[in-house]
Structures are given as structure tokens and as C-alpha cells.
Chains A and B, each alone.
Chain A
């Protein structure tokens, strides 16, 4: 029986997928595993290369095709439906695991159970973030799991990156499906729903980063991200109500700043100014601090 299902969405990046598969091959954990790849309607020239990459990989891989481009939440739902393993983990085509990821995260889950955790648990991990194009240095993303995890998620000290997760498949299914109304941030919504259902995130033993994310803002629509954030704000109103007014204002400030970063990185000056103005009016104090700290560099 498959112990771990590794779920990978793919869209027009077969060479990125090849990189991801190589990182899985080098895992120190050698238990029974399967990889499920769902192709989200890649262009024909990429389809042929995708078949080749999968055929040459020594891993057990199941390929499912959406046929047409359906978007990320749809593709993740197809992946969730296709997971057969007792445990489940995610990886985006183009990102990589470090060799001890599966081993340490499974160990982390067992340790949490042994320590008496009764509710649903997911193991997350510290990770590295590499900007595509190499214009910035490798950055380490440290996950903070102590204290109020819901607040940590909303204020970014706990990042909602699916590829950092490993947990029992049923705990993912209990959260439900990814929200199709969220072309962006559907993973943050998924994390929030997990915590709201009594779930807890734990860290594996050790302090090392276990995966690396190749990040780019190119093509990310700041307005769309803002709309998704505002939708999330309403959807999770019950939990946000339990946090202070200042917390909610900070969250809204961050939403506008994130949108400004995306529009800026996509050279949309007008939209960037609009989002910066919205940030400043949401929280002049936080905006002032940001100016002083970064001299206005997004």
C-alpha cells in the first residue's frame, strides 16, 4: 500500500517538473510512495516533453490531464481526489524538496502523536525562497508554529505554503476542497479552514530548511490578489471578529501592500500608487513605519 502520495500540479513547465522529480528521487525516506501529476491544460509542445519527463523518471508516477486550463484550485482538487496514500504532501512543478524532507516530517508527525496530540495535525517545515532570475539572495522562511496559529497565518509569520506540508490524507479531506472562487490564496484559505476545524501545525525535529521555493511575481495580478484577500476577509469573518481591531487593520494594510508589490513587480505604476494610497489610508502609522524602514522600496 502506498504510504505517501506526492501531489504535483503542472502547467507549461516540464523542465521545472523534472527538477522537482529529481528532488523526490533523492529523498532519504525510501518507503512506498507515488507521485500524482495533474496537468492543467499545458500547451501541446509542453505535453510531449511532459510525457518524456515522466517516462524517464524512476519514480511511480500517475499522470492525470485536465484537458483544458482550469486554474489552481480546480487542479488541486483533482490531485486531492487522486491521492491514494495514507499520508499526503504537495509540491509545485519547479520547486524542490531537500533530501530529508519526507523522513523528518514523518518523524515530526509521529513525535507529535507520541506527545499526546489528539486533533488533526500537519507537519510544516522551514523553507528557502529563491527569486527566479537570481536578482535577490536566497531567503530562509522560518515557520512559527507556537501561539495563535490563525494570527500567525494572517500576519505571515506562518506561511501558507502547501509544499511545506505533510499530513494524513484524511486530515486534508476533512478540510474539504479548495475554494474555486479563489484563483489566488486558495492555499491560505485551506490552512485557515484547517486551523478553524481544530487542526494544529507542527514542526519536524531539527532546524533545517526542508524545501526550496522558486518564487516570481511576474504575471501575478495585484488586483486579483487583493480581491481574493478581501473575499477571505469576509469568508473568515467569524474568526477575524475574535481578533482586535488593530489586528484586522494590520491585515488589511498587508493586503494592500501585497497587491502593491505585485503590481510594482509587473510594472503597473498607476495600480501600485493606488494600492499604496489604500495602504496609507488603512493604517497611516504602519505605512509610515514601512517608509522609514524600506525608504519606499517594495
Chain B
């Protein structure tokens, strides 16, 4: 960080030095129990345990607890201070942002777009820049687009290398008309700022294809890993005739289609039941739809559970009809429990994990509910098929074991922070 105050004549033991200082950045963290937040805490913990000095920074108006356990070796800071965010210039920008939201004319929206962007990002960007400039971490790792753009710009201004991590299919993070901020400035900067990245993280090697050729050689694929608790061996237990789905109850998960498919075959398999685990904005809608399809007790909505592993272990089939998925963590979890998976062949974060006919079945999305129903029908009525798929399930997730995930991240970070970190400061 600075010139040593008293240069030491002898080298101190290696164990006294941090292997490097890493600033991990996410926009919102407090009280938000999502998949990306969990991954963020997992990576912070594994880097800290490996001897890196890790600081996690977020910028959250809420001052709640961090939702997942953080190692006592990880420093944490919420960069948002209420008083400074209330400064007159920020309030002025916030006023402009409100006008932007209400504006309808194209010219007016174009004129107010920079104000809206600054209102959402200037405070965070400025703080990240000052922190990077003063504390000079060896690497900034940022999570999700709302943190990636300010981190890239702040790190670039301060001369600190930044690696943005992307947890969805790139086309959905960079081109979607609904996901993330639709302000044209943000959309443009999200892509432009990638030029300043030291490396760009994606979940699977095929996701690199989306990036322009000039950036492609900077793309690094590190898939997510299975949570360690799924790796503790448990004795086999009897499975119920149950089809399970697990995930946030949102549009993207496509549970409407699953209910329609289930309605097509439920009568033919009266001893089978569908259980959809999770919470989310579509909760009420899905329950209403199930009633209107007269599914009665053939479908259950048990909500969110901490014992999802038990639910997978006790189910015969997992179905994951998502529209798109960066990395289907629940799919890997089901496979780790020996539960074969049914999904769509076109869903990228699922088709990387499920091999048709080996550890599950993949059906054509164009076939809609009927195709899904046919896949379910095949798996339900063919005990041998299920047994074969189940036998392959556990072995198929070897690349996603927590150990492999940890090793990939540690190797990646060690490659980025090579050499004598003390000397560089």
C-alpha cells in the first residue's frame, strides 16, 4: 500500500503475511438470502481460510445482518452511510431520477438518463474508488451487474485490477430488456466497462462465446459448487413417489408450465405427487392456478425449507423447467442426492449439468407443457430408466464438488495475485 515505515532487515515468516488483499464487492447483501449472496459469502470464506485478507463491501440502505455465515477472518463493511447519502447533491440527483421514471417523451428521457444513472451509482462508485485508491487491494472481485459496473470503473480510476463475476447467461445479463437496470447509460456502461476488466468470470466455458473476440481471451469459466453440507454422506432412505421442484417462485422458473404438464398426467398416476419448494412473488398465482387445474392434493407448496436435502433424498424425480438459468444449483443438489432431473434442452445452465439419458432427461422447450408431461410420463412409468439415471446421477456432478470449486477459485486468485504482494504496495 505504501512505502514500508521501517524496512525489516530479515524476512518475517511466510505465515505472518496475508497471501494478498482482496476486496469483494456486491451491491446489496444485508438480509437478502439469495443464491448469489450465498455464493459471495462462500467465496469470501474460502479465500480467507486460504490466507487472503478479505474485505466484503456492499452499499445497502438496510442495516440488517449478513444472511449467510461469514468467517471471523472476513472483514465486512456497509459503505452506505445514511447521512452522507442525504447530502443535497445526492438529493438533487434523486429528484432528477424520479423525473426520469415519470418522463415519457424520448428527448426528456434521454436528457434525464445520466441523472438517473448518477443517482443510482455515483455514491457507490465514488466510495469504491476512494477505498480502492487508499487501501490498494491486490484484486477487486465484484458480484452481479449492479456492483460490476461501479467496481470496474472505480478500480480502473484507482489502478486496481477488477474481476467482475457473472452468475447468469451473459445474454441475459447484458442484453435483456427486463433484467437489471434498463437505463441506456447503464446498459452501455455495463458492456463498455468490461474493457477495463482484468479477467471476466462466467459460469461455463460456452458462455464466453457471447463476448466480443477482443475480450474473449480474458474470460475465465468457474462453475459454482455444491454446498459442503450436501457432501456429508447419509444412509440411503426410502423414496416417496414424489416429483420435486425447488427454486424461487418467479416467472423465470416457469412453474406455471409445470403445473399445466402435471395436470395432463396426474390422473394417470394417482399415487404420485408434485411438490414445489420455494417462496417468491408467484406464490399466490401458482396456488390459484393449481386450484383452477383441479390438482387438489396432488400438488403441494411446502414453501422454503432448510431441509431441502431431505426432500431431494425422499423424491424420485426432480423437475426444473426454468426459462434460463446461469447455473442450476438445485439441479446439482438433486443429482448429488441421486435424484434424476428433467429439464429443457434449451436451458443453458441446466443442459450443461444434465446429460439426456444419462442422469436425467432433456425435452424440447417448443413442445411446451405437453413435452414436459411426456418426459415426466416416461420417468414415472419406467422404473428401470429411473434406476439407471439414478445410478449415474452422483458421479455426474464430480466437477461441481465443493473441493473442485474451491481449488478452481484458489488457483484463479493465486494466478492473479502472483509475486511478492508486500513489495508491490
Contacts and interface: CB of A to CB of B under 8 A. Distances in A.
B107 to A, nearest CB: 37
Contact of A237 (B17, B53, B74, B130): B130
B12 A74 contact: yes
Contact of B5 (A177, A182, A242, A243): A182
Contacts of A245: 84
Nearest to B3: A181
Contacts of B10: 70
Given A74-B12, A238-B131, A241-B130, A197 B74 contact: yes
Contacts of B17: 177
B299 to A, nearest CB: 39
B135 A238 contact: yes
Contacts of B127: 241
Contacts of B78: 242
B80 to A, nearest CB: 8
B5 A171 contact: no
B84 A234 contact: no
B72 A171 contact: yes
B76 A198 contact: yes
A293 B298 CA distance: 79
B77 interface: yes
Interface in A165-221: 171, 174-177, 180-183, 193, 196-199
Nearest to A183: B6
B289 interface: no
Contact of B2 (A196, A231, A239): A231
Interface string B42-86: 000000000001010100000000000011111111111101100
B75 A77 contact: no
Nearest to B21: A235
A182 B127 CA distance: 25
A174 to B, nearest CB: 4
Interface residues of B, number: 37
* Best-surrounded residue of A171, A197, A224, A231 (most CB of chain B within 10 A): A197
Contacts of A239: 77
A244 interface: yes
Interface residues of A, number: 36
A239 B23 CA distance: 13
A285 B2 CA distance: 31
B75 A193 contact: yes
A196 B16 contact: no
A233 B1 CA distance: 12
B79 A180 contact: no
B403 interface: no
Contacts of B2: 181, 231, 234
B292 interface: no
A116 interface: no
B103 interface: no
Given A197-B72, A197-B76, A234-B1, A242 B6 contact: no
Contacts of A16: none
Nearest to B71: A174
B240 to A, nearest CB: 37
B16 A77 contact: yes
Given A180-B8, A242-B78, A234 B72 contact: no
Contacts of B15: 177
Contacts of B57: 238
Nearest to A174: B72
Contacts of A120: 72
Interface in A133-187: 171, 174-177, 180-183
B105 interface: no
A229 to B, nearest CB: 11
A237 B6 contact: no
B265 interface: no
A58 interface: no
B134 interface: yes
A244 B73 contact: no
A228 interface: yes
B5 A227 contact: yes
Contacts of A70: 8, 10
B50 to A, nearest CB: 13
A75 to B, nearest CB: 12
A242 B81 contact: yes
B30 to A, nearest CB: 13
Given A237-B134, A241-B130, A242-B78, A174 B12 contact: no
Contacts of B71: 174
Given A176-B53, A237-B134, A242-B81, 4 more contacts: A175-B73, A177-B15, A198-B70, A234-B2
Interface of B: 1-2, 4-6, 8, 10, 12, 15-18, 23, 53, 55, 57, 70-81, 83-84, 127, 130-131, 133-136
27 contacts: A74-B8, A77-B12, A175-B73, A176-B73, A180-B12, A180-B16, A181-B2, A182-B5, A183-B6, A196-B55, A196-B75, A197-B72, A197-B74, A198-B76, A235-B1, A235-B135, A237-B133, A237-B135, A238-B55, A238-B77, A238-B79, A238-B131, A238-B135, A241-B127, A242-B77, A242-B78, A242-B80
